[in-house]
A = this chain, B = another copy of it.
């Protein structure tokens, strides 16, 4: 086995997050369909659109490195999405189910925040300035999506306790 460099790790992580985002593009419509709150549904659909843009940005990042965009199955995201899918099958009041969906979605967001955080640090160290700019944009969107969910959770959880 060849000795791995930081550049190898960077490309691996890029493939991991490309897989994660593609999985999300498939999962978000089902999530959006399963929630009761109109506001939450809209937030999930808005994030679907953002996620599609993130996939494009990741493909551009690969191009900036003269690599073809390949994904490598992200098992962690698979597990997180499965957790969210189970919630949709639970027997619960609408508000309670929505609160659980938000909790699952925030775990997804934080997985991505951690991954993009690492990718940005590595891109900077490796001097991949074009990729860095693209990854920073994705990171900022994930952080904003997480904050939006936190705000939504406040009203939905309040409804779930009454």
- A contacts, CB < 8 Å to B: 1-6, 9, 13, 75-76, 79-80, 83, 90-93, 95-96, 99-100, 102-103, 106-107, 109-111, 113-115, 117-118, 121-122, 125-126, 150, 153-154, 157-158, 160-161
Contacts and interface: CB of A to CB of B under 8 A. Distances in A.
Contacts of A95: 6
B3 A126 contact: no
A6 B162 CA distance: 10
A150 B111 contact: no
A115 B103 CA distance: 7
Given A107-B114, A111-B111, A121-B154, 10 more contacts: A1-B91, A3-B91, A5-B96, A6-B99, A9-B96, A13-B103, A75-B83, A99-B122, A110-B110, A122-B157
